[in-house]
A = this chain, B = another copy of it.
Amino acid sequence: MDPETKLKELTAILNEVADLKSAVDLLDWDQQTYMPPGGAANRAYQQATLAKLRHIKFTAPEVGQLLDDLQLWAAELDPDSDEARLIKVTRRDYEKKVKVPSEFMAEFTKTTSNAHLVWQQARQTDDFAKFQPYLEKIVELRREYADFFAPYDHVYDPLLDDFEPGLKTTEVQEIFNALRPQQVELLKAISEKPQVDDSFLHQPFDEFRQEEFGMEVISKYGYDWNRGRQDRAAHPFTTSFGLGDVRITTRFIPDYLGSALFSTLHEAGHAIYEQGIASHLDRTPLAEGTSLAVHESQSRMYENLIGRSYDFWTHFYGRLQELFPSQLMEVDLDTFYKGINKVEPSLIRVEADEATYNLHIMLRLELEIALMEGSLEVADLPEAWKSRMEEYLGLTPPNDADGVLQDVHWSSGYIGYFSTYALGNLISAQLWEKVNEDIPDLADQIRRGEFAELTGWMHEKIHRHGSKFEPQELVERVTDSKIDPAAYMRYLRTKYTEIYEL
Protein backbone atom coordinates (compact mmCIF):
# COMPACT_ATOMS: atom_id res chain seq x y z
CA MET A 1 0.00 0.00 0.00
CA ASP A 2 1.43 3.42 -0.88
CA PRO A 3 1.61 6.15 1.76
CA GLU A 4 -1.25 8.12 0.26
CA THR A 5 -3.53 5.11 0.61
CA LYS A 6 -2.33 4.54 4.15
CA LEU A 7 -2.99 8.17 5.01
CA LYS A 8 -6.49 7.78 3.61
CA GLU A 9 -6.98 4.71 5.76
CA LEU A 10 -5.73 6.53 8.84
CA THR A 11 -7.94 9.51 8.07
CA ALA A 12 -10.98 7.27 7.68
CA ILE A 13 -10.41 5.93 11.19
CA LEU A 14 -9.81 9.42 12.58
CA ASN A 15 -13.03 10.58 10.92
CA GLU A 16 -14.98 7.91 12.77
CA VAL A 17 -13.24 8.81 16.02
CA ALA A 18 -14.32 12.42 15.39
CA ASP A 19 -17.90 11.28 14.75
CA LEU A 20 -17.91 9.46 18.08
CA LYS A 21 -16.51 12.52 19.82
CA SER A 22 -19.24 14.68 18.29
CA ALA A 23 -21.88 12.24 19.47
CA VAL A 24 -20.44 12.30 23.00
CA ASP A 25 -20.42 16.10 22.87
CA LEU A 26 -24.04 16.17 21.74
CA LEU A 27 -25.01 13.85 24.63
CA ASP A 28 -23.30 16.35 26.91
CA TRP A 29 -24.80 19.47 25.32
CA ASP A 30 -28.27 17.96 25.56
CA GLN A 31 -27.69 16.99 29.18
CA GLN A 32 -26.80 20.58 30.04
CA THR A 33 -29.58 22.24 28.04
CA TYR A 34 -32.74 20.21 27.46
CA MET A 35 -32.54 16.72 28.97
CA PRO A 36 -35.37 16.01 31.45
CA PRO A 37 -34.30 14.78 34.91
CA GLY A 38 -35.42 11.23 34.11
CA GLY A 39 -32.78 10.96 31.41
CA ALA A 40 -29.80 11.24 33.74
CA ALA A 41 -29.18 7.58 34.55
CA ASN A 42 -29.13 6.36 30.97
CA ARG A 43 -27.21 9.39 29.80
CA ALA A 44 -24.28 8.40 32.00
CA TYR A 45 -24.29 4.93 30.42
CA GLN A 46 -24.50 6.35 26.92
CA GLN A 47 -21.57 8.67 27.52
CA ALA A 48 -19.46 5.89 29.02
CA THR A 49 -20.21 3.48 26.18
CA LEU A 50 -19.42 5.97 23.45
CA ALA A 51 -16.30 7.25 25.21
CA LYS A 52 -15.10 3.66 25.49
CA LEU A 53 -15.74 2.94 21.82
CA ARG A 54 -13.94 6.13 20.87
CA HIS A 55 -10.95 5.16 23.00
CA ILE A 56 -10.83 1.62 21.57
CA LYS A 57 -11.03 2.88 18.02
CA PHE A 58 -8.35 5.53 18.46
CA THR A 59 -5.90 3.34 20.37
CA ALA A 60 -6.27 0.33 18.07
CA PRO A 61 -2.92 -1.26 17.08
CA GLU A 62 -3.91 -0.56 13.48
CA VAL A 63 -3.61 3.18 14.16
CA GLY A 64 -0.14 2.74 15.64
CA GLN A 65 0.90 0.62 12.67
CA LEU A 66 -0.33 3.19 10.16
CA LEU A 67 1.45 5.97 12.05
CA ASP A 68 4.68 3.94 12.04
CA ASP A 69 4.33 3.18 8.36
CA LEU A 70 3.79 6.85 7.56
CA GLN A 71 6.65 8.15 9.67
CA LEU A 72 9.38 8.16 7.02
CA TRP A 73 7.10 9.45 4.33
CA ALA A 74 5.90 12.30 6.57
CA ALA A 75 9.52 13.30 7.30
CA GLU A 76 9.90 14.22 3.63
CA LEU A 77 6.85 16.48 3.61
CA ASP A 78 6.77 20.21 4.29
CA PRO A 79 6.68 20.08 8.10
CA ASP A 80 3.91 22.73 8.14
CA SER A 81 1.70 20.86 5.67
CA ASP A 82 -1.63 19.56 6.86
CA GLU A 83 -0.52 15.99 6.22
CA ALA A 84 2.71 16.27 8.23
CA ARG A 85 0.95 18.02 11.08
CA LEU A 86 -1.94 15.57 11.09
CA ILE A 87 0.48 12.68 11.48
CA LYS A 88 2.49 14.53 14.12
CA VAL A 89 -0.49 15.54 16.24
CA THR A 90 -2.13 12.15 15.88
CA ARG A 91 1.08 10.38 16.92
CA ARG A 92 1.39 12.66 19.97
CA ASP A 93 -2.20 12.00 21.03
CA TYR A 94 -1.93 8.29 20.24
CA GLU A 95 1.23 7.82 22.28
CA LYS A 96 -0.27 9.64 25.23
CA LYS A 97 -3.41 7.54 25.12
CA VAL A 98 -1.75 4.13 24.73
CA LYS A 99 0.68 4.79 27.55
CA VAL A 100 -2.14 4.91 30.06
CA PRO A 101 -3.54 1.45 30.87
CA SER A 102 -7.29 1.13 30.68
CA GLU A 103 -7.41 -0.29 34.24
CA PHE A 104 -5.83 2.93 35.46
CA MET A 105 -8.36 5.02 33.54
CA ALA A 106 -11.21 2.96 34.99
CA GLU A 107 -9.93 3.55 38.52
CA PHE A 108 -9.37 7.24 37.83
CA THR A 109 -12.91 7.66 36.46
CA LYS A 110 -14.41 5.83 39.41
CA THR A 111 -12.36 7.83 41.92
CA THR A 112 -13.19 11.22 40.44
CA SER A 113 -16.83 10.31 40.04
CA ASN A 114 -17.04 9.59 43.78
CA ALA A 115 -14.78 12.51 44.66
CA HIS A 116 -17.03 14.88 42.74
CA LEU A 117 -20.07 13.85 44.78
CA VAL A 118 -18.18 14.11 48.06
CA TRP A 119 -16.79 17.51 47.06
CA GLN A 120 -20.33 18.81 46.45
CA GLN A 121 -21.33 17.77 49.97
CA ALA A 122 -18.06 19.00 51.50
CA ARG A 123 -18.46 22.42 49.93
CA GLN A 124 -22.08 22.69 51.08
CA THR A 125 -21.17 21.79 54.63
CA ASP A 126 -17.79 23.56 54.60
CA ASP A 127 -16.09 20.31 55.56
CA PHE A 128 -12.67 19.98 53.97
CA ALA A 129 -11.79 16.95 56.11
CA LYS A 130 -14.50 15.00 54.34
CA PHE A 131 -13.00 15.76 50.94
CA GLN A 132 -9.37 15.36 52.05
CA PRO A 133 -8.95 11.57 51.55
CA TYR A 134 -10.50 11.81 48.08
CA LEU A 135 -8.19 14.61 47.07
CA GLU A 136 -5.24 12.66 48.46
CA LYS A 137 -6.23 9.73 46.28
CA ILE A 138 -6.56 12.00 43.26
CA VAL A 139 -3.11 13.52 43.83
CA GLU A 140 -1.71 10.01 44.14
CA LEU A 141 -3.38 8.95 40.90
CA ARG A 142 -2.16 12.07 39.13
CA ARG A 143 1.39 11.22 40.20
CA GLU A 144 0.88 7.70 38.93
CA TYR A 145 -0.43 9.18 35.69
CA ALA A 146 2.65 11.37 35.32
CA ASP A 147 4.85 8.33 35.82
CA PHE A 148 3.44 6.71 32.70
CA PHE A 149 5.32 9.47 30.88
CA ALA A 150 8.61 9.19 32.76
CA PRO A 151 11.27 10.37 32.33
CA TYR A 152 10.14 13.98 32.63
CA ASP A 153 11.81 17.20 33.73
CA HIS A 154 9.07 17.88 36.25
CA VAL A 155 6.32 15.65 37.60
CA TYR A 156 3.79 18.38 36.67
CA ASP A 157 4.88 18.42 33.01
CA PRO A 158 2.77 15.49 31.77
CA LEU A 159 -0.32 17.00 33.42
CA LEU A 160 0.21 20.42 31.89
CA ASP A 161 0.94 18.85 28.53
CA ASP A 162 -2.59 17.46 28.31
CA PHE A 163 -3.94 20.99 28.10
CA GLU A 164 -0.94 22.91 26.69
CA PRO A 165 0.96 20.56 24.38
CA GLY A 166 4.69 21.11 24.60
CA LEU A 167 4.60 23.65 27.42
CA LYS A 168 6.86 22.96 30.42
CA THR A 169 6.25 23.65 34.08
CA THR A 170 9.42 25.76 34.35
CA GLU A 171 8.23 27.96 31.49
CA VAL A 172 4.95 28.65 33.25
CA GLN A 173 6.70 29.25 36.55
CA GLU A 174 9.04 31.78 34.94
CA ILE A 175 6.15 33.60 33.34
CA PHE A 176 4.14 33.72 36.54
CA ASN A 177 7.12 34.67 38.70
CA ALA A 178 7.58 37.72 36.51
CA LEU A 179 3.88 38.49 36.49
CA ARG A 180 2.84 38.04 40.11
CA PRO A 181 4.69 40.88 41.84
CA GLN A 182 3.57 43.31 39.17
CA GLN A 183 -0.06 42.31 39.55
CA VAL A 184 0.14 42.49 43.34
CA GLU A 185 1.69 45.93 43.13
CA LEU A 186 -0.91 47.21 40.65
CA LEU A 187 -3.72 45.91 42.82
CA LYS A 188 -2.26 47.67 45.82
CA ALA A 189 -2.11 50.95 43.91
CA ILE A 190 -5.72 50.59 42.81
CA SER A 191 -6.95 49.74 46.29
CA GLU A 192 -5.57 53.04 47.60
CA LYS A 193 -7.79 55.01 45.24
CA PRO A 194 -11.49 55.83 45.65
CA GLN A 195 -13.74 53.00 44.44
CA VAL A 196 -15.88 53.35 41.31
CA ASP A 197 -19.64 52.79 41.32
CA ASP A 198 -21.24 49.75 39.64
CA SER A 199 -24.54 49.65 41.54
CA PHE A 200 -26.47 50.36 38.32
CA LEU A 201 -25.52 46.88 37.06
CA HIS A 202 -27.49 45.36 39.91
CA GLN A 203 -31.07 46.12 38.89
CA PRO A 204 -33.77 44.05 37.20
CA PHE A 205 -32.92 43.60 33.49
CA ASP A 206 -35.42 41.85 31.24
CA GLU A 207 -33.94 38.53 30.18
CA PHE A 208 -35.08 38.66 26.58
CA ARG A 209 -33.63 42.14 26.09
CA GLN A 210 -30.36 40.95 27.59
CA GLU A 211 -30.44 38.13 25.08
CA GLU A 212 -31.26 40.45 22.19
CA PHE A 213 -28.35 42.74 22.98
CA GLY A 214 -25.90 39.87 23.29
CA MET A 215 -27.02 38.43 19.97
CA GLU A 216 -26.62 41.79 18.26
CA VAL A 217 -23.07 42.18 19.52
CA ILE A 218 -21.81 38.70 18.72
CA SER A 219 -23.41 38.86 15.29
CA LYS A 220 -21.25 41.91 14.65
CA TYR A 221 -18.26 40.08 16.10
CA GLY A 222 -18.76 37.56 13.32
CA TYR A 223 -20.45 34.64 15.07
CA ASP A 224 -22.14 32.69 12.26
CA TRP A 225 -25.69 31.67 13.26
CA ASN A 226 -25.94 29.46 10.22
CA ARG A 227 -23.32 27.31 11.89
CA GLY A 228 -24.36 27.71 15.49
CA ARG A 229 -27.03 28.63 17.99
CA GLN A 230 -27.41 29.86 21.55
CA ASP A 231 -29.25 28.06 24.33
CA ARG A 232 -29.57 28.40 28.08
CA ALA A 233 -27.43 26.40 30.50
CA ALA A 234 -26.64 26.64 34.21
CA HIS A 235 -22.90 26.90 33.47
CA PRO A 236 -22.19 28.63 30.14
CA PHE A 237 -20.02 26.67 27.71
CA THR A 238 -19.20 26.34 24.03
CA THR A 239 -19.28 23.05 22.17
CA SER A 240 -19.02 21.92 18.59
CA PHE A 241 -20.19 18.89 16.62
CA GLY A 242 -17.90 19.60 13.73
CA LEU A 243 -16.94 22.95 12.26
CA GLY A 244 -20.41 23.54 10.80
CA ASP A 245 -22.17 23.40 14.17
CA VAL A 246 -20.53 25.37 16.97
CA ARG A 247 -22.97 26.22 19.76
CA ILE A 248 -22.80 28.53 22.72
CA THR A 249 -24.83 28.63 25.91
CA THR A 250 -25.60 31.47 28.29
CA ARG A 251 -27.12 31.90 31.72
CA PHE A 252 -29.29 34.94 32.35
CA ILE A 253 -29.40 36.52 35.79
CA PRO A 254 -32.46 38.77 35.95
CA ASP A 255 -31.05 41.37 38.35
CA TYR A 256 -27.44 41.59 37.25
CA LEU A 257 -26.55 42.79 33.79
CA GLY A 258 -22.90 41.80 33.86
CA SER A 259 -23.29 38.04 33.97
CA ALA A 260 -25.04 37.07 30.73
CA LEU A 261 -23.57 39.98 28.79
CA PHE A 262 -19.92 39.19 29.34
CA SER A 263 -20.36 35.44 29.37
CA THR A 264 -22.05 35.66 25.97
CA LEU A 265 -19.13 37.66 24.57
CA HIS A 266 -16.73 35.17 26.17
CA GLU A 267 -18.37 32.07 24.71
CA ALA A 268 -18.70 33.79 21.34
CA GLY A 269 -14.91 34.20 21.36
CA HIS A 270 -14.48 30.47 21.80
CA ALA A 271 -17.05 29.79 19.10
CA ILE A 272 -15.60 32.22 16.57
CA TYR A 273 -12.30 30.39 17.01
CA GLU A 274 -13.85 27.03 16.16
CA GLN A 275 -15.92 28.44 13.31
CA GLY A 276 -12.73 29.92 11.87
CA ILE A 277 -10.84 26.63 11.62
CA ALA A 278 -10.16 25.69 7.99
CA SER A 279 -13.06 23.52 6.90
CA HIS A 280 -10.89 20.90 5.21
CA LEU A 281 -9.55 19.96 8.66
CA ASP A 282 -13.04 18.93 9.76
CA ARG A 283 -13.46 15.43 11.27
CA THR A 284 -9.71 15.17 12.06
CA PRO A 285 -7.73 15.75 15.26
CA LEU A 286 -6.64 19.11 13.79
CA ALA A 287 -10.21 20.48 13.85
CA GLU A 288 -9.97 22.03 17.31
CA GLY A 289 -8.23 24.87 19.08
CA THR A 290 -4.51 24.48 19.60
CA SER A 291 -4.69 24.51 23.40
CA LEU A 292 -6.88 25.72 26.21
CA ALA A 293 -4.74 28.85 26.70
CA VAL A 294 -4.95 29.89 23.06
CA HIS A 295 -8.68 29.17 23.14
CA GLU A 296 -8.98 31.31 26.24
CA SER A 297 -7.01 34.10 24.54
CA GLN A 298 -9.87 34.39 22.05
CA SER A 299 -12.69 34.27 24.58
CA ARG A 300 -10.95 36.79 26.86
CA MET A 301 -10.16 39.08 23.97
CA TYR A 302 -13.76 39.29 22.77
CA GLU A 303 -15.01 39.52 26.36
CA ASN A 304 -12.46 41.87 27.92
CA LEU A 305 -10.02 43.59 25.60
CA ILE A 306 -12.89 44.42 23.27
CA GLY A 307 -16.05 43.98 25.34
CA ARG A 308 -14.88 46.02 28.32
CA SER A 309 -13.14 48.72 26.27
CA TYR A 310 -14.20 52.34 26.00
CA ASP A 311 -14.07 52.15 22.20
CA PHE A 312 -16.55 49.27 22.17
CA TRP A 313 -19.04 51.06 24.40
CA THR A 314 -18.69 54.27 22.44
CA HIS A 315 -20.54 52.37 19.76
CA PHE A 316 -22.84 50.08 21.75
CA TYR A 317 -23.83 52.02 24.84
CA GLY A 318 -26.60 53.99 23.13
CA ARG A 319 -28.22 50.77 22.03
CA LEU A 320 -27.98 49.30 25.52
CA GLN A 321 -29.58 52.43 26.97
CA GLU A 322 -32.34 52.15 24.38
CA LEU A 323 -33.06 48.58 25.50
CA PHE A 324 -32.92 49.49 29.21
CA PRO A 325 -33.96 53.14 29.43
CA SER A 326 -35.22 53.14 33.01
CA GLN A 327 -32.09 51.42 34.28
CA LEU A 328 -29.41 53.24 32.26
CA MET A 329 -30.68 56.54 30.87
CA GLU A 330 -29.26 58.44 33.84
CA VAL A 331 -25.94 56.56 33.76
CA ASP A 332 -23.45 58.24 31.44
CA LEU A 333 -20.92 56.36 29.30
CA ASP A 334 -17.96 57.18 31.57
CA THR A 335 -19.74 55.91 34.66
CA PHE A 336 -20.86 52.79 32.85
CA TYR A 337 -17.36 52.10 31.55
CA LYS A 338 -15.81 52.47 34.96
CA GLY A 339 -18.52 50.33 36.56
CA ILE A 340 -17.97 47.35 34.26
CA ASN A 341 -14.23 47.61 35.00
CA LYS A 342 -14.48 47.88 38.76
CA VAL A 343 -11.57 46.21 40.55
CA GLU A 344 -12.34 44.55 43.85
CA PRO A 345 -10.47 41.61 45.35
CA SER A 346 -12.91 38.81 46.03
CA LEU A 347 -12.71 35.35 47.47
CA ILE A 348 -14.20 33.69 44.43
CA ARG A 349 -12.23 33.18 41.23
CA VAL A 350 -15.18 33.12 38.85
CA GLU A 351 -16.29 36.56 40.09
CA ALA A 352 -12.82 38.08 39.75
CA ASP A 353 -12.09 41.13 37.58
CA GLU A 354 -9.25 41.52 35.09
CA ALA A 355 -6.81 42.92 37.66
CA THR A 356 -7.23 40.11 40.17
CA TYR A 357 -8.11 37.06 38.11
CA ASN A 358 -4.56 35.92 37.42
CA LEU A 359 -3.71 36.07 41.10
CA HIS A 360 -6.37 33.47 41.81
CA ILE A 361 -4.79 31.30 39.14
CA MET A 362 -1.21 31.69 40.31
CA LEU A 363 -2.21 30.70 43.81
CA ARG A 364 -3.78 27.51 42.47
CA LEU A 365 -0.89 26.65 40.21
CA GLU A 366 1.63 27.00 43.02
CA LEU A 367 -0.42 24.76 45.28
CA GLU A 368 -0.92 22.15 42.55
CA ILE A 369 2.78 22.01 41.84
CA ALA A 370 3.59 21.72 45.53
CA LEU A 371 1.07 18.90 45.93
CA MET A 372 2.50 17.04 42.97
CA GLU A 373 6.06 17.56 44.13
CA GLY A 374 5.08 16.34 47.59
CA SER A 375 6.29 19.51 49.28
CA LEU A 376 2.73 20.21 50.42
CA GLU A 377 0.39 17.69 52.03
CA VAL A 378 -3.30 17.76 51.16
CA ALA A 379 -4.00 18.14 54.89
CA ASP A 380 -2.11 21.44 54.89
CA LEU A 381 -3.84 22.76 51.78
CA PRO A 382 -6.50 24.94 53.47
CA GLU A 383 -3.89 26.85 55.46
CA ALA A 384 -1.63 27.25 52.44
CA TRP A 385 -4.62 28.58 50.51
CA LYS A 386 -5.47 31.13 53.18
CA SER A 387 -1.97 32.47 53.57
CA ARG A 388 -1.58 32.97 49.84
CA MET A 389 -4.98 34.67 49.58
CA GLU A 390 -3.77 37.16 52.17
CA GLU A 391 -0.46 37.68 50.44
CA TYR A 392 -1.80 38.10 46.89
CA LEU A 393 -5.27 39.54 47.37
CA GLY A 394 -5.29 40.86 50.91
CA LEU A 395 -8.28 38.73 51.84
CA THR A 396 -8.78 35.95 54.37
CA PRO A 397 -11.40 33.34 53.46
CA PRO A 398 -13.73 32.94 56.43
CA ASN A 399 -14.21 29.27 55.55
CA ASP A 400 -13.07 26.55 53.16
CA ALA A 401 -16.28 26.53 51.14
CA ASP A 402 -15.34 29.95 49.76
CA GLY A 403 -11.68 29.00 49.82
CA VAL A 404 -10.02 25.79 48.83
CA LEU A 405 -13.32 24.03 48.14
CA GLN A 406 -14.71 26.59 45.71
CA ASP A 407 -13.62 25.05 42.37
CA VAL A 408 -14.92 21.88 40.78
CA HIS A 409 -11.65 21.11 38.96
CA TRP A 410 -9.68 19.07 41.51
CA SER A 411 -12.65 16.92 42.42
CA SER A 412 -12.95 16.01 38.74
CA GLY A 413 -9.28 15.12 38.57
CA TYR A 414 -8.24 18.25 36.68
CA ILE A 415 -4.82 19.07 38.08
CA GLY A 416 -2.85 20.90 35.41
CA TYR A 417 -5.73 22.91 34.02
CA PHE A 418 -5.87 26.20 35.93
CA SER A 419 -2.87 27.99 34.47
CA THR A 420 -4.46 27.95 31.02
CA TYR A 421 -6.90 30.65 32.14
CA ALA A 422 -4.13 33.07 33.07
CA LEU A 423 -1.96 32.18 30.09
CA GLY A 424 -4.99 32.94 27.93
CA ASN A 425 -5.11 36.44 29.37
CA LEU A 426 -1.43 36.98 28.62
CA ILE A 427 -1.74 35.72 25.05
CA SER A 428 -4.80 37.85 24.43
CA ALA A 429 -2.82 41.01 25.22
CA GLN A 430 0.12 39.91 23.04
CA LEU A 431 -2.24 39.32 20.12
CA TRP A 432 -3.98 42.59 20.84
CA GLU A 433 -0.78 44.61 20.51
CA LYS A 434 0.05 42.78 17.30
CA VAL A 435 -3.33 43.18 15.66
CA ASN A 436 -3.30 46.89 16.52
CA GLU A 437 0.04 47.22 14.77
CA ASP A 438 -1.29 45.42 11.70
CA ILE A 439 -4.60 47.30 11.64
CA PRO A 440 -3.68 50.85 12.66
CA ASP A 441 -7.28 52.14 12.63
CA LEU A 442 -8.68 49.19 14.60
CA ALA A 443 -9.82 51.45 17.45
CA ASP A 444 -11.77 53.57 14.96
CA GLN A 445 -13.35 50.46 13.49
CA ILE A 446 -14.45 49.29 16.92
CA ARG A 447 -15.90 52.72 17.69
CA ARG A 448 -17.99 52.21 14.55
CA GLY A 449 -19.01 48.71 15.65
CA GLU A 450 -16.98 47.07 12.87
CA PHE A 451 -15.19 43.81 13.63
CA ALA A 452 -14.82 42.17 10.24
CA GLU A 453 -11.17 43.06 9.78
CA LEU A 454 -10.30 42.12 13.35
CA THR A 455 -12.02 38.74 13.22
CA GLY A 456 -10.58 38.17 9.75
CA TRP A 457 -7.08 38.75 11.16
CA MET A 458 -7.72 36.25 13.95
CA HIS A 459 -9.08 33.73 11.43
CA GLU A 460 -5.95 34.15 9.33
CA LYS A 461 -3.35 34.15 12.09
CA ILE A 462 -4.86 31.84 14.67
CA HIS A 463 -8.13 30.11 13.89
CA ARG A 464 -7.66 28.52 10.51
CA HIS A 465 -4.68 26.47 11.69
CA GLY A 466 -6.79 24.48 14.12
CA SER A 467 -4.43 22.49 16.32
CA LYS A 468 -1.62 22.21 13.76
CA PHE A 469 0.81 24.12 15.97
CA GLU A 470 1.70 23.90 19.64
CA PRO A 471 0.71 26.94 21.68
CA GLN A 472 4.20 28.42 22.16
CA GLU A 473 4.93 27.81 18.48
CA LEU A 474 1.76 29.53 17.36
CA VAL A 475 2.16 32.53 19.66
CA GLU A 476 5.74 33.00 18.47
CA ARG A 477 4.75 32.72 14.80
CA VAL A 478 2.17 35.44 15.22
CA THR A 479 3.80 37.82 17.72
CA ASP A 480 7.54 37.03 17.33
CA SER A 481 7.61 36.21 21.02
CA LYS A 482 6.70 33.25 23.18
CA ILE A 483 4.10 33.69 25.91
CA ASP A 484 5.16 36.77 27.87
CA PRO A 485 3.42 38.77 30.59
CA ALA A 486 4.68 42.22 29.50
CA ALA A 487 1.86 43.01 27.09
CA TYR A 488 -0.81 42.08 29.59
CA MET A 489 0.78 44.26 32.28
CA ARG A 490 0.97 47.17 29.82
CA TYR A 491 -2.69 46.64 29.05
CA LEU A 492 -3.72 46.52 32.72
CA ARG A 493 -1.61 49.53 33.70
CA THR A 494 -2.88 51.71 30.90
CA LYS A 495 -6.47 50.79 31.54
CA TYR A 496 -6.50 51.19 35.32
CA THR A 497 -4.24 54.25 35.40
CA GLU A 498 -7.01 55.98 33.52
CA ILE A 499 -9.97 54.52 35.38
CA TYR A 500 -8.53 54.87 38.89
CA GLU A 501 -6.34 57.90 38.15
CA LEU A 502 -3.24 56.12 39.47
A interface residues (Cβ-Cβ under 8 A, vs B): 15-16, 19-20, 22-23, 26-27, 30, 34-43, 45-46, 48-50, 53, 224-229, 231, 241-245, 247, 282-283
CB-defined contacts of A15 to chain B, threshold 8 Å: 45, 49
The residue in chain B whose Cβ has the minimal distance to the Cβ of A242 is: B42
CB-defined contacts of A48 to chain B, threshold 8 Å: 19
Given the interface pairs A19-B49, A27-B23, the reply to whether A41 lies near B229 with Cβ below 8 Å is no
**A133 smallest CB distance to B (angstroms):** 31
Contact in complex: B227, A36 (CB < 8 Å): yes
Q: Give complex CA distance A41, B20 in Å.
A: 15
Q: Give complex CA distance A45, B19 in Å.
A: 7
CB-defined contacts of A50 to chain B, threshold 8 Å: 19-20, 23
Identify 19 new A-B residue pairs, CB closer than 8 A, beyond the known A38-B227, A41-B242, A42-B282. Answer: A16-B49, A19-B45, A19-B48, A19-B50, A23-B26, A23-B46, A26-B30, A36-B228, A36-B245, A36-B247, A37-B226, A38-B226, A39-B245, A40-B244, A41-B244, A42-B243, A42-B283, A43-B245, A46-B242
Copy total for this chain: 2
The residue in chain B whose Cβ has the minimal distance to the Cβ of A20 is: B49
Contact in complex: B225, A36 (CB < 8 Å): yes
Q: Give complex CA distance A247, B36 in Å.
A: 9
**A327 smallest CB distance to B (angstroms):** 27
The residue in chain B whose Cβ has the minimal distance to the Cβ of A30 is: B26
**A19 smallest CB distance to B (angstroms):** 4
Q: Give complex CA distance A224, B229 in Å.
A: 28
Contact in complex: A46, B19 (CB < 8 Å): yes
Q: Give complex CA distance A26, B50 in Å.
A: 13
Contact in complex: B46, A241 (CB < 8 Å): yes
Contact in complex: B43, A241 (CB < 8 Å): yes
CB-defined contacts of A226 to chain B, threshold 8 Å: 36-38
Among A16, A49, A231, A243, the one with the most B-chain Cβ atoms within 10 Å of its Cβ is A49
Contact in complex: A22, B46 (CB < 8 Å): yes
Q: Give complex CA distance A225, B37 in Å.
A: 9
15 contacts across the A-B interface (CB closer than 8 A) = A15-B45, A15-B49, A16-B49, A20-B49, A22-B46, A23-B26, A26-B27, A34-B229, A36-B247, A38-B227, A39-B244, A42-B241, A42-B282, A45-B283, A53-B53
Query: Out of B22, B30, B42, which one reaches A244, CB within 8 Å?
Result: B42
Contact in complex: A244, B23 (CB < 8 Å): no
CB-defined contacts of A228 to chain B, threshold 8 Å: 36, 38
CB-defined contacts of A30 to chain B, threshold 8 Å: 26, 30
Contact in complex: A227, B39 (CB < 8 Å): yes
CB-defined contacts of A19 to chain B, threshold 8 Å: 42, 45-46, 48-50
The residue in chain B whose Cβ has the minimal distance to the Cβ of A48 is: B19
Q: Give complex CA distance A228, B35 in Å.
A: 8
Q: Give complex CA distance A228, B36 in Å.
A: 6
CB-defined contacts of A16 to chain B, threshold 8 Å: 49, 53
**A192 smallest CB distance to B (angstroms):** 50
**A250 smallest CB distance to B (angstroms):** 15
Contact in complex: B53, A244 (CB < 8 Å): no
Contact in complex: A245, B22 (CB < 8 Å): no
**A58 smallest CB distance to B (angstroms):** 13
